[in-house]
């Protein structure tokens, strides 16, 4: 943006120098005097009764300080359960996790006891020696089977396996479908794995008996949430708990959750009177960190002869896992997003969240949106194919035109507010993406390739996603007598460049020197309230509060400086660490001096008649989500012999409103795209029929590595949202949302000679080969 | 404490004589005993590459080696890459300029792997860079910034070497 000092620029990240030289401080890097190490005894069964726990052998090992079960923690617990579920009227049962397993384990990986020892090596030895007597119970693994009559119960005390059920929709769906000339139905299986942040979870806790203060360093995305749950569980007051987020090696959703291990580490430190560290290993991450998993959709679209959508309806079964660790929001997001980018006159979706004996499901980057978008885009491809309409053309006829924005959908958010698409130009994004990938010229390329025996395909997918979820994120901007500008926020950083983002916003209004600003996030002691990092929200929420706070501090500083310099406020400017009279560079006062002047001197009035302190705290209130939008366009080649999918080109054109730092935005979109490619072609979190996880390392569960990853070509549109003073929309999840829909569309297109239709994610090479073989077998029989 | 041995090794140019438990991995020894926590553990089964260090100039997984195996060897970690405290290595500079890191957790392994690679292949293609880091997982960047940084660094290093 022209005229700005640093806002909108490709400013280098402030986070980088420490991280590039090994000076970062991740939770496992914290080494304290007297610190001891924890390991967890975990359930090896999907479902079992605990008949007894024998700690004796473990406690006899030299260097072991304690083995604690729920019974040992109970005297310190005000509430034994982690009450974390977001509210919803749709719950049929409330299933909050116990601090440690009580008399029944309900998923493999569920923590049963915490073992503390001199080293992690000894703690793990001892954990293996804790003898838990289990009576194995029938487990339910598949979420569809969970709903069948006579299915094993995930919890033996539950009446059934339905955790929640809800529906949503608008319009006269049934009568529209009754009279529609074209109806197409599809069954879809969509699966996403875990976050697999390269840093696993971890916690270090210190108990200070003098101050009666619990300090928890945790690799979490939400310090204040952790603090509030600890207040509830331990029955302490607000000043007795401090949660600090050190550097976090990726979050992607599951680190938003507060876990049994967090409270166990806190209590072990309190009981032993020594700092306790727990660093999750990768196998633990696979079995005990929340993940996304299966959704099974039965959906139907009604269209007229021109491909104009008349309605969409269906049902979905969602694997919830064994406990509620977040809420129903993931399934809710999926059902809510389906129809959003398009003009869909009527809509109905019925959703059941089924309990299974697996680790709880909570959102991973994208949070259910890729699945909903996949449903819509696959149905449009199907309708286009059946009616002989070009895939882009059917979208063109149905996308909500920019002149109709803001556009109110007949749906409500989880907070019961209307869903309003605020700004953007969906069609322009799609046209740009099509041009970049030469969508129009593709049939010719495909024909040529087929002559050479090569199977290439093109696909595209449009998406919107609600971002910037409120209600607020506090930011305090304060200038102290040192002249340093301090920025405090309840926001949390886990790799999204939060510090750089807030610095660019604040610096713009307070002198433009990014090096004169210190940002403190992820510390529950610096601001009273905080929500944290999720839902592509922090630039919108914390960014807006930072802007307002910086502007207020600027106004105050100019007022005081005007008094000191005996000049008019309008004639002043802030440059670097100084306020000076424009055109008279010698007439100036340092920011520190201005701050000192309002810090208070006994008996003297404050200059300029302002409030004490050169600071401002702001909570910009967000009522409505702001919707990002975009289009992914993908060209692939499929090897019919091996089932390998290679990318020939990957384009994403998106609109996240005003851009604070284009370099960071690009990084977020490409990173999200990689996550989406992984979800589509590689990642599968497998369980067998006894709910035993069968993909628990990086050889069995594949992440995308550099050679499989295409160069992603980015196109940007910039439609500032009217919903916040910066005009920004969230960007962290943009890349992942359209990826499965666009890639599967391209693969299906490449395999069109084999008449293969694909309604599943992930799609792995053996499945592609099998589909081709099925076609060939059917054809040879027919022939 | 379990059985331990005395080892002598050089880490980032400094010689250490240390008593170490025989079952300690090299990664745990570097991190916990020497306090060099810049080397990260992402999977502890040799796939993610975050723990990659240079062992006598060649990249190696410090999670798959025991500390005692490093006896008498020369090791470089991320803390030892920059030429001085005030100056970064051209590869580190290129990572910053090209947004080659977000959370920074995989970065130590990326840097050590690429230092070895660019030494062997000072003028690589994009595909060669991608193959070179195929044993290092990153969940944030989609590798695009890393690949750009590696190619940029290769050019800077060639220029510095008068190529």
ipTM: 0.98
The encoded tokens of residue A180 equal 């529609």
Taking the C-alpha atoms of A548, A552, A554 and A555 in order, what is their torsion angle to the nearest 10 degrees? Answer: 140
Mutate to test the interface with A, among B124, B125, B142 (most CBs of A within 10 A): B142
Q: What is the pLDDT of residue A318?
A: 98
- Strand ranges, E, within B22-155: 52-55, 58-61, 74-76
Residue B126 pLDDT exceeds 70: yes
Distance CA A227, CA A309 (A): 48
**B76 min Cα distance to partner chain A (Å):** 12
A15-31 b/e with 16+ CB inside 10 Å = b?
A: bbeebbbbebebbbbbe
* Low-confidence winner among A49-63, A407-421, B139-153 (lowest mean pLDDT): A407-421
* Angle, CA A698 vertex, CA A693 and CA A699 arms, to 5°: 90
Reported confidence tier of residue A605, pLDDT bands at 50, 70, 90: confident
Closest CA to A47 of A413, A357, A411, A376: A357
- Are A559 and A571 within one domain? yes
Reported confidence tier of residue A55, pLDDT bands at 50, 70, 90: very high
DSSP symbol at B29: I
Nearest to B137 among A13, A697, A703 (CB): A703
Q: What is the pLDDT of residue A86?
A: 79
DSSP symbol at A622: -
Asked if A536 contacts A467 with a C-beta cutoff of 8 angstroms, the reply is yes
Tell me the three state secondary structure of residue B32: helix
Q: How much is the mean pLDDT over chain A?
A: 96
Distance CA A386, CA A27 (A): 55
Phi, psi of A359 (to 5 degrees): -55, 140
- Are A567 and A613 within one domain? yes
Measured in whole angstroms, how far is the alpha carbon of residue A315 from the centre of its chain?
Answer: 24
Tell me whether residues A31 and B44 touch, CB distance under 8 A.
no
Helices (H), A159-251: 173-179, 223-234
The CB density around residue A460, as the number of other CB atoms within 10 Å, is: 26
A-chain CB neighbours of B32 within 8 Å are 31
Distance CA A705, CA A480 (A): 46
Domain boundary among A589, A618, A647: A618
Closest CA to A522 of A545, A548, A495, A483: A495
Distance CA A202, CA A194 (A): 16
Mutate to test the interface with B, among A61, A117, A198, A649 (most CBs of B within 10 A): A198
Asked if A80 contacts A260 with a C-beta cutoff of 8 angstroms, the reply is no
Q: Which residues pair with A647 in a beta bridge?
A: A636
Taking the C-alpha atoms of A70, A72, A76 and A79 in order, what is their torsion angle to the nearest 10 degrees? Answer: 20
- Are A715 and A588 within one domain? no
Phi, psi of B155 (to 5 degrees): -65, -45
Asked if A422 contacts A405 with a C-beta cutoff of 8 angstroms, the reply is yes
Distance CA A263, CA A243 (A): 12
* Residue A439 belongs to some domain of the structure: yes
Distance CA A752, CA A765 (A): 17
Measured in whole angstroms, how far is the alpha carbon of residue A46 from the centre of its chain?
Answer: 27
**A758 min Cα distance to partner chain B (Å):** 25
Asked if A581 contacts A570 with a C-beta cutoff of 8 angstroms, the reply is no
State how far the alpha carbon of A398 is from the alpha carbons of A144, A344, A428, A708, in Å: 33, 8, 13, 34
Tell me whether residues A709 and B142 touch, CB distance under 8 A.
yes
Using CB atoms within 10 A of its CB, is residue B74 exposed (0-12), middle (13-18) or buried (19+)? middle
- Strand ranges, E, within A468-516: 475-479, 485-489
HSE-CB of A714 using CA atoms within 13 angstroms: 21
Structural domains of chain B, with CATH: 4-80 (3.10.20.30), 90-160 (1.10.150.120)
B61 in contact with chain A, both atoms CB, cutoff 8 A:
no
Q: Which residues pair with A41 in a beta bridge?
A: A113
Q: Which residues pair with A299 in a beta bridge?
A: A186, A314
- Are A679 and A744 within one domain? yes
**B161 min Cα distance to partner chain A (Å):** 23
HSE-CB of B93 using CA atoms within 13 angstroms: 13
- Are A531 and A407 within one domain? no
Asked if A117 contacts A65 with a C-beta cutoff of 8 angstroms, the reply is yes
Q: What is the pLDDT of residue A767?
A: 97
- Are A416 and A474 within one domain? no
- Are A569 and A495 within one domain? yes
* Residue A148 belongs to some domain of the structure: no
- Are A548 and A405 within one domain? no
Mutate to test the interface with A, among B136, B144, B147, B148 (most CBs of A within 10 A): B144
Nearest to B104 among A62, A196, A247 (CB): A247
Average pLDDT over every residue of A418-438: 97
A298-313 b/e with 16+ CB inside 10 Å = b?
A: ebbbbbeeebebbbbb
* Residue A549 belongs to some domain of the structure: yes
Nearest to A198 among B48, B95, B147 (CB): B48
DSSP symbol at A247: B
Q: What is the pLDDT of residue A780?
A: 86
Q: Which residues pair with A457 in a beta bridge?
A: A636
- Are A742 and A685 within one domain? yes
The encoded tokens of residue A176 equal 């529209």
State how far the alpha carbon of A555 is from the alpha carbons of A223, A582, A609, A661, in Å: 31, 16, 13, 25
The CB density around residue A459, as the number of other CB atoms within 10 Å, is: 25
What order do you get walking across the sheet with A475-479 strand by strand? A517-521, A485-489, A475-479, A614-618
- Tell me: the pLDDT tens digits for A694-730? 999 999 999 999 999 999 999 999 999 999 999 999 9
Measured in whole angstroms, how far is the alpha carbon of residue A553 from the centre of its chain?
Answer: 32
Tell me whether residues A707 and B101 touch, CB distance under 8 A.
no
Tell me whether residues B105 and A197 touch, CB distance under 8 A.
yes
Question: Which residues, numbered 128 to 157 in chain B, qualify as contacts with chain A under a Cβ-Cβ cut-off of 8 Å?
Answer: 129-131, 133-147
B-chain CB neighbours of A282 within 8 Å are 42-45, 48
Phi, psi of A147 (to 5 degrees): -95, -5
Distance CA A721, CA A622 (A): 12
A-chain CB neighbours of B79 within 8 Å are 21-23
**B73 min Cα distance to partner chain A (Å):** 21
**B68 min Cα distance to partner chain A (Å):** 16
- Are A736 and A676 within one domain? yes
Q: What is the pLDDT of residue A532?
A: 86
The encoded tokens of residue A520 equal 């403190």
* Residue A178 belongs to some domain of the structure: no
The encoded tokens of residue A82 equal 């982690």
Distance CA A759, CA B96 (A): 41
* Residue A594 belongs to some domain of the structure: yes
- Tell me: the pLDDT tens digits for A615-636? 999 999 988 899 999 999 999 9
Asked if A196 contacts A229 with a C-beta cutoff of 8 angstroms, the reply is no
Question: Which residues, numbered 67 to 96 in chain B, qualify as contacts with chain A under a Cβ-Cβ cut-off of 8 Å?
Answer: 77-79, 81-82, 88, 92, 95-96
The encoded tokens of residue A579 equal 């306020």
* Residue A413 belongs to some domain of the structure: yes
Please identify which residue in the block is written with the tokens 């990014």.
A514
Asked if A205 contacts A217 with a C-beta cutoff of 8 angstroms, the reply is yes
Q: What is the domain range of residue A747?
A: 401-466+625-783
* Residue A144 belongs to some domain of the structure: no
Tell me whether residues A670 and B142 touch, CB distance under 8 A.
yes
Distance CA A84, CA A363 (A): 14
Q: What is the pLDDT of residue A782?
A: 59
* Residue A646 belongs to some domain of the structure: yes
Q: What is the pLDDT of residue A1?
A: 41
Q: How far apart are the first and last CA of chain A?
A: 64
Distance CA A188, CA A374 (A): 9
Asked if A285 contacts A196 with a C-beta cutoff of 8 angstroms, the reply is yes
Distance CA A87, CA A83 (A): 11
Closest CA to A703 of A220, A369, A282: A282
Asked if A543 contacts A501 with a C-beta cutoff of 8 angstroms, the reply is yes
Tell me the three state secondary structure of residue A337: helix
- Supply the CATH number for residue A582's domain: 3.30.365.10
B107 → chain A, closest CA residue? A20
Domain boundary among A587, A618, A649: A618
Residue A234 pLDDT exceeds 60: yes
Tell me whether residues B43 and A698 touch, CB distance under 8 A.
yes
Question: Which residues, numbered 14 to 53 in chain B, qualify as contacts with chain A under a Cβ-Cβ cut-off of 8 Å?
Answer: 21, 23-24, 28, 31-32, 35-45, 47-48, 50
Distance CA B154, CA B47 (A): 25
Q: What is the pLDDT of residue B163?
A: 64
- Are A432 and A474 within one domain? no
The encoded tokens of residue A745 equal 């569309």
- Are A557 and A510 within one domain? yes
Residues 6+ apart with CB under 8 A from B11: B30, B34, B36, B75, B76, B77, B80
State the Rg of chain B over Cα: 16
Average pLDDT over every residue of A13-29: 97
**B2 min Cα distance to partner chain A (Å):** 9
- Strand ranges, E, within A403-523: 407-412, 418-421, 455-467, 475-479, 485-489, 517-521
* Total domains in the fold of chain A: 2
Mutate to test the interface with A, among B40, B61, B80, B104 (most CBs of A within 10 A): B104
A-chain CB neighbours of B141 within 8 Å are 667, 670-671, 674
Q: How many CB pairs below 8 A link A and B? A: 181
The encoded tokens of residue A604 equal 């003297």
Domain boundary among A618, A633, A655: A618
Mutate to test the interface with A, among B50, B77, B139, B148 (most CBs of A within 10 A): B139
Q: What is the pLDDT of residue A781?
A: 72
Closest CA to A536 of A437, A665, A682, A430: A665
């Amino acid at each position: 943006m022209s005229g700005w000092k640093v806002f909108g620029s490709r400013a280098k990240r402030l986070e980088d120098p420490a991280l590039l030289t090994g000076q970062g401080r991740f939770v496992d890097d914290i080494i304290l005097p007297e610190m001891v190490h924890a390991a967890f005894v975990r359930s090896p069964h999907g479902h079992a009764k605990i008949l007894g726990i024998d700690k004796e052998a473990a406690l006899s090992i030299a260097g072991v300080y304690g083995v604690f079960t729920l019974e040992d923690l109970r005297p310190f617990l005000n509430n034994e359960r982690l009450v974390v579920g977001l509210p919803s009227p749709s719950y049929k049962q409330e299933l909050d996790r116990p601090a440690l397993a009580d008399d029944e384990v309900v998923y493999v990986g569920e923590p049963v006891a915490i073992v503390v020892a001199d080293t992690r090596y000894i703690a793990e030895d001892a954990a293996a020696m804790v003898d838990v007597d289990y009576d194995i119970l029938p487990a339910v693994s598949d979420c569809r089977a969970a709903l069948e009559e006579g299915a094993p119960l995930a919890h033996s005390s539950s009446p059934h396996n339905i955790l929640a059920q809800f529906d949503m929709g608008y319009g006269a769906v049934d009568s529209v479908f009754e009279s529609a000339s074209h109806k197409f139905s599809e069954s879809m299986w969509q699966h996403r794995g875990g976050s697999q942040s390269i840093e696993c979870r971890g916690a270090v806790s210190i108990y200070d008996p003098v101050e009666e203060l619990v300090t928890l360093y945790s690799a979490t995305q939400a310090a204040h949430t952790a603090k509030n749950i600890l207040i509830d569980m331990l029955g302490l007051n607000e000043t007795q708990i401090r949660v600090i987020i050190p550097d976090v090696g990726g979050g992607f959703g599951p680190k938003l959750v507060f876990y049994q291990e967090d409270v166990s580490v806190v209590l072990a430190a309190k009981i032993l009177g020594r700092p306790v560290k727990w660093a999750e290993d990768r196998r633990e991450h696979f079995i005990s960190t929340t993940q996304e998993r299966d959704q099974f959709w039965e959906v139907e679209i009604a269209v007229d002869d021109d491909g104009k959508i008349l309605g969409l309806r269906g049902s979905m079964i969602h694997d919830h896992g064994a406990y509620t660790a977040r809420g129903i929001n993931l399934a809710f997001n999926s059902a809510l997003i389906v129809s959003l980018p398009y003009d869909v006159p009527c809509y109905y979706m019925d959703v059941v969240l089924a309990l299974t004996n697996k680790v709880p499901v909570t959102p991973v980057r994208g949070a259910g949106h890729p699945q909903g978008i996949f449903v819509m885009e696959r149905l449009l491809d199907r309708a286009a194919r059946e009616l002989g309409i070009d895939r882009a053309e059917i979208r063109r006829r149905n996308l909500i035109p920019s002149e109709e924005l803001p556009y109110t959908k007949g749906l409500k958010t989880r907070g019961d507010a209307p869903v309003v698409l605020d700004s953007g130009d969906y069609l322009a994004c799609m046209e740009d993406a099509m041009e970049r990938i030469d969508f129009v010229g593709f049939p010719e390329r495909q024909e040529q390739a087929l002559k050479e025996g090569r199977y290439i395909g093109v696909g595209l997918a449009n998406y919107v996603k609600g971002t910037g979820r409120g209600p607020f994120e506090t930011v305090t901007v304060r200038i102290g007598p040192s002249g340093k500008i301090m920025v405090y926020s309840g926001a949390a950083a886990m790799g999204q460049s939060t510090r750089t983002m807030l610095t660019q916003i604040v610096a713009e209004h307070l002198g433009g020197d990014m090096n004169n600003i210190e940002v403190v996030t992820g510390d529950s002691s610096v601001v009273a309230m905080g929500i944290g990092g999720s839902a592509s929200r922090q630039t919108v929420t914390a960014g807006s509060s930072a802007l307002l706070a910086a502007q207020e501090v600027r106004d105050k500083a100019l007022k005081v400086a005007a008094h000191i310099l005996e000049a008019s406020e309008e004639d002043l400017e802030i440059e670097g660490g100084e306020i000076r009279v424009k055109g008279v560079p010698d007439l100036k006062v340092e920011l520190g001096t201005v701050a000192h002047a309002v810090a208070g001197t006994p008996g003297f009035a404050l200059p300029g008649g302002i409030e004490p302190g050169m600071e401002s705290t702001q909570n910009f209130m967000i009522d409505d989500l702001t919707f990002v939008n975009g289009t992914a366009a993908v060209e692939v080649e499929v090897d019919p012999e091996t089932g390998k999918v290679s990318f020939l080109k990957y384009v994403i054109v998106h609109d996240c409103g005003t851009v604070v730092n284009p370099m960071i935005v690009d990084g977020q979109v490409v990173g999200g795209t990689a996550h989406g490619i992984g979800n589509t072609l590689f990642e599968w979190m497998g369980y067998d029929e006894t709910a035993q996880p069968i993909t628990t390392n990086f050889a069995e569960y594949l992440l995308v590595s550099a050679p499989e990853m295409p160069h992603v070509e980015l196109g940007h549109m910039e439609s500032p949202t009217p919903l916040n003073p910066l005009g920004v929309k969230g960007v962290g999840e943009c890349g992942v949302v359209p990826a499965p829909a666009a890639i599967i569309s391209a693969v299906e297109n490449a395999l069109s000679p084999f008449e293969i239709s694909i309604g599943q994610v992930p799609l792995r090479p053996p499945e592609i080969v099998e589909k081709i073989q099925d076609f060939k077998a059917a054809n040879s029989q027919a022939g | 404490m379990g059985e331990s041995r005395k080892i002598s090794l050089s880490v980032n140019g400094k010689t250490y004589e240390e008593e170490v438990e025989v079952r300690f991995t090299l990664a745990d020894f570097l991190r916990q005993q020497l306090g060099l926590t810049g080397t990260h553990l992402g999977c502890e089964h040799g796939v993610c590459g975050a723990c990659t260090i240079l062992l006598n100039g060649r990249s190696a997984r410090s999670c798959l080696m025991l500390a005692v195996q490093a006896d008498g060897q020369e090791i470089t970690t991320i803390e030892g890459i920059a030429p001085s405290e005030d100056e970064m290595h051209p590869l580190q500079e290129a990572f910053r300029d090209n947004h080659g890191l977000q959370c920074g957790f995989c970065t130590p392994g990326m840097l050590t792997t690429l230092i070895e690679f660019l030494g062997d292949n000072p003028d690589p293609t994009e595909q060669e860079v991608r193959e070179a880091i195929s044993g290092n997982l990153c969940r944030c960047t989609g590798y695009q910034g890393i690949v750009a940084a590696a190619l940029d660094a290769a050019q800077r290093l060639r220029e510095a070497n008068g190529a």
